[in-house]
Amino acid sequence: MSYEMGGGLLILILTLLVLLLIASSFRILREYQRGVVFMLGRFWRVKGPGLVLLIPGVQQMVRVDLRTVVMDVPSQDVISHDNVSVKVNAVLYFRVVDPERAIIQVANFLEATSQLAQTTLRSVLGKHELDEMLAERERLNLDIQKALDVQTDGWGIKVSNVEIKHVDLNESMIRAIARQAEAERERRAKIIHAEGELQASEKLLGAARMLAQQPEAMQLRYMQTLTQIAGDKSSTIVFPMDILQALRGGKTPPE
């Protein structure tokens, strides 16, 4: 009786072990996941999404997420081409396009991409002047993205975008930029004022030439000017003889 009970218990245990082995051989991968399968330590194939069957003890699988990863690049100390020290941080967008290389070619592709982004940010921005960092961010973003994409291609990673978030300056540099901006505004104001004076002088010259061709118009303009000077106040206006002659039709008044 005890022998039968012991045999039944053994069968139960074996059945449970078989069920556990069968259950452990199944994997379910979601639509955005892939499984890099190794057989006896050697790469076999990339499988998924859906249900994946593995041979227990013989095959192992590493899951890889194919969704776009948003990574914050910590603030980096950058010395610009014109020897200005600034702190720059950025955000990086990338995704795995080749799960096999992402697992086999690099130990930790997330950490490797983060460190590479930091060094690339410093090296690329160090080739540019401060004014370019402040005014041409789109071009610098593209330069950093291209440099990163070339280096991460061997890891099966595609860098889709890089955005510089902040360029932090010290107080002295902020004051210097403010003075530079003020000087630039004053320069533009002087140029605009000079252009206005030039246009006004050209108009006055044209008006003078036109009046010179019409003496009567010159006399009328002179009288208009005298009227504006007198205004509403009681004033005595002395007319030159040539004006009186013009008003009387060119006749000299009797003495």
Which residue is associated with the tokens 């009786």?
Answer: 1
The number of domains in the chain is 3
Cβ(86)–Cβ(169) below 8 Å: yes
Q: Do 135 and 201 fall within a single domain? A: no
Decide: pTM greater than 0.85: no
pLDDT value at position 171?
73
**236 burial type by CB count under 10 A (0-12 exposed, 13-18 middle, 19+ buried):** exposed
* 240 vs 230: CA distance, rounded Å: 16
Low-confidence ranges of the chain (pLDDT < 50): 250-255
Cβ(62)–Cβ(103) below 8 Å: yes
pLDDT value at position 104?
95
Range of the domain at 111: 69-169
Q: Do 47 and 125 fall within a single domain? A: no
Domain of 99, CATH number, reads 3.30.479.30
206 in any annotated domain: yes
- Considering 169, 204, 231, which residue would you say is the last residue of a domain? 169
Q: Output DSSP code: residue 105.
A: T
CB atoms within 10 A of CB 85: 12
Q: Do 60 and 111 fall within a single domain? A: no
